Chain A
Amino acid sequence: MKVRAADYLVYDKDKGVYQLSPEQVVRDDVEKHYWAHVGRTILKDWRLYLMLVPMLLIFLFWRYFPMYELLGCFKVSDNVLPVSQQLFSGFSYFKRLLLAGDGLSTDFWRAMRNTFILSFYGLCFGFPIPIILALFFNEVRSDAARSVFQVLTYLPKFMSTVVMTTLIAMLVKQASLVSGAGIVSQALAGLGFISVETAKGGLLNLPSFFRSIYQISGIWEGAGYDSIVFFAAIIAISPTSYEAAQIDGANKWAQMRYVVLPSILSTIVIMLITRIGSLLNIGYEKVLLLYNAQTYVTADVVSTFAYRNSIGAVGGSSAGSGLASAAEMMNNVIGMLLVIGSNTIAKKASNTSLY
């Protein structure tokens, strides 16, 4: 905005000179006594600022204080002194995790790799399927039939992680006889996808099945619910666009390619940013409930690694909260860089940004 002289000068007829306008006097005053002005505004409007206080306090206490606690990863921790009284030890925990080459360090690298693999597979399979599902929903012209499909596919989203993982554990459970194994294991064995021995061993005890179980249950749980936003974007497309394409002789595929896809692209971009942003926020609860010592090879992620080696340690095998914090710190910093990076790219590429 360009400032013109008329905005801050007024002509004083009595004296015959130009003077600062009253508004400009206020503006200058605000500039000179900024904090006094802030104080006055807040006092005048104190009710509004009071409303903000409980929320800010909750975030301060239980979101930002843990970040301060996280600084323990730079300190020597003996689990007794508060973080403020510990000595600065620099990057020794990070060096230990990344370079030591002992069992703990190998475990950390494995957890890091698993985190990336699990989230990358989740992106590859978990992201496109809701879009495809939304396209399918769009084909169902009868409202009643569509409601039935939607009600059923959203249903698993309401189930808790505990209920879901308990169900999974029961559906693929181990048994001494194949007829006693979980119903899904039995079906897979019956169809010849897995051997009878595998079915009897329990799929959750086999490292090679963990990733598939994790992804398939994730799709089962979330695909229907995640399709809502894409479906909303698809039904917002005007029917005349389809008609125009049909007149031009577009078949279904061409309609998808030239009508539907461009119309929902901005939604896809936004959802993709969100997805990439939370890429490393692997649901530790789900992993923690599904994995066991036999499947650490493929299942252990950074959060569960940190948990198991500190607060969740059994029998004095704790590596200390400083080391665990260092592991989580690396994970979360990479995660944050991913959010900022994907958001910046999206802003440049398509002018849509989430934050």
Chain B
Amino acid sequence: MKRKLEISELIFKIISYTLLAIFSLACLYPFVYAISASISGIHAVEYGEIVLFPKDIQFEAFGRMFNNNMFWNSYSNTLFITLYGTLFSMVTSILGAYALSKKRLLFRTPFNFFLVFTMWFSAGIVPQYLNYLDTRAVFNKIGIMDDKWLVVIAMGMAAMNIILLRNAFEGVPSEVEEAAIVDGATEMQVLTNVFIPMSQSTIATVALFFAISRWNGYFWARQMISNANEHPLQVFIRLQLENFTNPEVMAGWNEPYASDSVIYALIVCSIVPILIIYPFIQKYFAKGTNVGGVKE
């Protein structure tokens, strides 16, 4: 009996390790390939000679990107949208979630429903687009001509993130809050000195969710930002891809590196910042879904 048990467990263990290793490598491979292809010579790229390691190393594809002002422009636009967007979303969400977490709040259930309903039913792309056109008209009227602010303010609120924050605030023991109130703390001080420090990890997680979605946002940025100088990085990458896969544009390609290398270089430039901070934020990411996933 004992022997049979060990065999079944051993088999499962071997299967687990093998499949995990394969899947992990499959997750990593495209990125390694992109890096290799971005610094390989034109012949190696165009004739599929790269499998894993770069060949005939050149850095001109990167050089071309770095010399392109539009690239730096789009990078700074993305930083702008990510920074201000995350800040704006965090401030409004924390304030709202704090109020929603209070049992004494009147109409708490309707307010919650007001948020949750947006998770059930969304108007769809077309009505949203018409709505943004109206928003832009209003923004222009009050003097905000930069469409990036439209993306910052009108986009990217997520009911799920607010619910995550609300749940974290509800988990703060009421005794701590009462003690602060007895000591004469105002509502704002209770929030900044008690609730925010006590829900740090959830706040970090939610900030991360907002920041990632801002950094990666593409569709609405492309729809809403009309001026090409204000396009964020994701829109720039896509436009470059569309440009470089257009046969008419590519007919006159006469460079010492492949056009694909430029695309790969762009991809590498876009993911490097994320790869650098990834080890530090990964644990928050894992924590966030645990908080959000199950609440019985």
Q: Does A220 contact B (CB under 8 A)?
A: yes
| CA A321 to CA B134, docked complex, whole Å | 14
Contact A335 B121 (CB under 8 A): yes
Q: How far is the CB of A313 from chain B (nearest CB, A)?
A: 11
Q: Does B65 contact A (CB under 8 A)?
A: no
Q: Does B194 contact A (CB under 8 A)?
A: no
Q: Which residues of chain B come closer than 8 Å to A244, judged between CB atoms?
A: none
Report if A140-B126 is in contact (Cβ < 8 Å); known contacts: A159-B271, A160-B270, A224-B27: no
From A47, A328, A339, B124 is in contact (CB under 8 Å) with: A328
Q: Does B67 contact A (CB under 8 A)?
A: no
Q: Does A345 contact B (CB under 8 A)?
A: no
Q: Does B19 contact A (CB under 8 A)?
A: yes
A295-332 CB contact bits vs B (8 Å, 1 = yes)?
00000000100110011000000000100110011011
> Which residues of chain B from 191 to 225 have any CB-CB distance to chain A below 8 Å in the complex?
191, 212, 215-219, 223
A62-87 CB contact bits vs B (8 Å, 1 = yes)?
11111101101000000000000000
**Interface segment, one of B53-61, B94-102, B141-149, B172-180:** B94-102
Q: How far is the CB of B123 from chain A (nearest CB, A)?
A: 4
A155-170 CB contact bits vs B (8 Å, 1 = yes)?
1111111110011011
Contact B33 A183 (CB under 8 A): yes
Q: How far is the CB of A150 from chain B (nearest CB, A)?
A: 8
Contact B106 A140 (CB under 8 A): no
Contact B27 A66 (CB under 8 A): no
Q: Does B28 contact A (CB under 8 A)?
A: yes
Q: Which residues of chain B come closer than 8 Å to A325, judged between CB atoms?
A: 124, 126-127
Report if A48-B102 is in contact (Cβ < 8 Å); known contacts: A160-B215, A266-B294, A332-B124: yes
Report if A162-B5 is in contact (Cβ < 8 Å); known contacts: A61-B154, A169-B245: no
**Interface segment, one of A9-17, A52-60, A103-111:** A52-60
The size class of the interface chain A forms with chain B is: 35 or more
Question: Helix, strand, loop or mixed for chain A's interface?
Answer: helix
Q: How far is the CB of B243 from chain A (nearest CB, A)?
A: 12
Q: Which residues of chain B come closer than 8 Å to A181, judged between CB atoms?
A: 48
Contact A51 B98 (CB under 8 A): yes
Contact A59 B157 (CB under 8 A): yes
| CA A289 to CA B216, docked complex, whole Å | 14
> Which residues of chain B from 260 to 275 have any CB-CB distance to chain A below 8 Å in the complex?
260, 263-264, 266-267, 270-271, 274
- Counting chain B CB atoms within 10 Å of each CB, the highest count among A38, A170, A340, A352 belongs to A170
Q: How far is the CB of B25 from chain A (nearest CB, A)?
A: 8
Q: How far is the CB of B91 from chain A (nearest CB, A)?
A: 8
Give 17 CB contacts A-B under 8 Å: A48-B99, A52-B105, A62-B157, A66-B123, A67-B127, A72-B130, A135-B16, A150-B286, A160-B234, A162-B234, A162-B237, A163-B271, A166-B237, A180-B46, A277-B119, A284-B125, A284-B219
Q: Which 5 A-B pairs have the closest CB atoms?
A: A55-B96, A328-B124, A160-B216, A66-B123, A229-B293
Which chain B residues have a beta carbon within 8 Å of chain A's beta carbons?
Answer: 1, 4-5, 8-9, 11-13, 15-17, 19-21, 23-28, 30-31, 33-34, 37, 46-51, 91-93, 95-100, 102, 104-106, 111, 114-116, 118-131, 134-135, 153-155, 157, 159, 162, 186-188, 191, 212, 215-219, 223, 234-235, 237-238, 241, 245, 260, 263-264, 266-267, 270-271, 274, 278-279, 282, 285-286, 289-290, 293-294, 296
Sample of 5 more A-B contacts, CB < 8 Å, known A62-B128, A153-B24, A154-B286: A65-B131, A66-B124, A139-B17, A163-B237, A249-B1
